Amino acid sequence: MRSTYWSLLLLGGISVLFTALTCWGSETEGGSPGFPGDNDIVLDSLVGIWFGQIAAAVLAVLAITSEYSARMIRTTFAANPRRRTVLGAKAAVVVGVVLAVGLATSVACFLVGQWILRGNGFNYEGGYPVVTLADGEAFRAVVGSAVYLGSLALFSLGVGAIARHTAGAITVVLAAVLAPVIAIGFLPENLAEPLEKFSLMGAGLAVQQTVERPDSIPIGPAGGLLVVTAYGAAALLVALWTIGRRDA
């Protein structure tokens, strides 16, 4: 489908664009050699993923709901009546494609972001050493961002298979991704902290953090990826259960 290519292009293009815009607008906080400010330059160079993730979610939803809307799903199930096998194959393909494109996008964001930040004062004179993909935390943040996108795609595909309606599924996915982030700003700290830790986007993007700050997401990289993987697995399990119990 043409939307597949557009979604993948938007995933990469929007992510790199917003990374570039954010890094151009970033300012150092008066650091000096050996005494940097508290900017997380790895996180800043991956911030475009926060926007590109929407394209990954839409791609995964369309991978299943487009067949239902066009009634082609009946042809698919006629060719292969093992519905759970069909859904499992779709999940493997969608997650694999999003992982690959997501990794390329994360690397591009990181390289572009670091280049802009170094020219914007985040360098040795400002107290910030050169960060490359050879650094363990930077490598973890870049690869972890791709894993997050793959897990989000799995969750979105599962929701699409359950809803079987494009607009409804996209609405549910966007609400699951964005609503907790918005709600955190209006909730007291004792409620905002656990919501941020266990929300889809909050937990998943904690993998990008390499500097401990007061506004850091209060969950570790491994724990955050475990949470978002659980979201994806739960959605897929429900979809596998429902797809064999309903008419196409």
What confidence score (pLDDT) does residue 29 get?
60
Task: Write out pLDDT tens, residues 189-221.
Answer: 888 888 988 999 999 999 999 888 777 888 999
> Does 85 have pLDDT greater than 90?
yes
DSSP H stretches of helix in 70-135: 72-79, 83-119
Half-sphere CA count of 97, side-chain side, radius 13 A: 19
- 163, HSE (Cβ side, Cα atoms, 13 Å): 23
Span 224-245, average pLDDT: 94
Determine the average pLDDT of the residues in 5-12. Answer: 91
Confidence of residue 35 (pLDDT cuts 50, 70, 90): low
d(CA 9, CA 210): 28
Helix H or strand E segment including 180: helix 166-184
- The answer to whether residue 31 scores a pLDDT higher than 60 is no
Note the pLDDT of residue 174: 95
Does residue 124 have a pLDDT over 80?
no
Domain-wise residue ranges, the chain: 2-243
Residue 161: alpha-carbon gap to chain centroid: 20
Residue 38: pLDDT band (50, 70, 90) is confident
50 contacts 14 by C-beta, under 8 angstroms: no
pLDDT at 63 over 80: yes
Stronger pLDDT, 98 or 244, i.e. the higher one: 98
Question: Which residues, 6+ apart, have CB-to-CB distance to 75 below 8 Å?
Answer: none
pLDDT the model gives residue 112: 96
